[in-house]
Amino acid sequence: MKQKIKEHSIQLFDKKGFTSTSIQDIVESIGVTKGTFYYYYTSKEQLLMEIHLQFIDEVLNEQEEVINDSKKSFSDKLFEVIYLSLMDIKKQGPSAKVFYREMRHLNPESLTEIKAKRDLYRFNIEKLLNEGIKNGDLRSDLDVPIVSFGILGVMNWSYEWYNAEGQKNAFEIAKSFQDMILKGIKVEE
């Protein structure tokens, strides 16, 4: 039931927004009473936090598994991190939207915790780039923090447009992005 409340809430928050969705809306959509809601959650904010945590923890675990795999090359790691982010949209699209849009409705302590995890995701990308520079795979003149934001932009923006039923699949898109980020778009001089 707890998972069901979460799933229905994600759908409602995605459609109507967090503030416009009442606890009454949530319980009605499942056909239970408010008592059931309060058996599992103390407030709508606590539920929102659980949705955020579930999303970011899953995303972080997947990312770290790839990044810490010493058998993979830099190029493969970059591809897989991008590919995973597209698969996450497919798997948990509405969660991703709720994550990005409704963060400001978390209470201050929750927000601090979520922001730290978001930052960790970014620092892992920085770490990956720094390793690539050290290994001689990447150009040593890169501005690592800015390039990290650029790569995150390429990845995160896809939740705005990526359609899992679209013409191109996640594999092809991740390949194009990997290629663009590694080699750039310009003809070599």
146 scored as a contact of a second copy (CB under 8 A): yes
Could you tell me which stretch among 2-10, 30-38, 52-60, 136-144 binds a second copy (CB under 8 A)?
Answer: 136-144
Distance CA 40, CA 46 (A): 10
Residue 184 is given by DSSP the state -
Question: Is the distance from CB of 174 to CB of 88 less than 8 angstroms?
Answer: no
Closest listed residue to residue 98, CA positions, set 114, 122, 109, 87: 114
Locate 1 and state its tokens: 């039931």
Residue from 34, 112, 143, 164 binding a second copy (CB under 8 A): 143
Could you tell me which stretch among 41-49, 54-62, 87-95, 155-163 binds a second copy (CB under 8 A)?
Answer: 155-163
Sequence-separated (6 or more) residues with CB below 8 Å from residue 125? 81, 148, 151, 152
Q: How many residues bind a second copy (CB under 8 A)?
A: 44
Pick between residue 3 and residue 104 the one whose CB is nearest to a second copy.
104
* Of residues 48-77, those binding a second copy (CB under 8 A): 75
Q: Measured from the CB of residue 105, what is the shortest distance to a second copy in angstroms?
A: 8
Closest listed residue to residue 92, CA positions, set 65, 54, 37: 54
108 scored as a contact of a second copy (CB under 8 A): no
The owner of tokens 């679209």 is 166
- The helix/strand/coil state of 86 is helix
The owner of tokens 């990447």 is 138
* Of residues 76-105, those binding a second copy (CB under 8 A): 101, 104-105
Residue from 1, 2, 4, 19 binding a second copy (CB under 8 A): 19
Q: Which residues bind a second copy (CB under 8 A)?
A: 16-20, 75, 101, 104-105, 129, 132, 136-139, 142-143, 146-147, 149-150, 152-158, 160-161, 168, 172-173, 176-177, 180-188
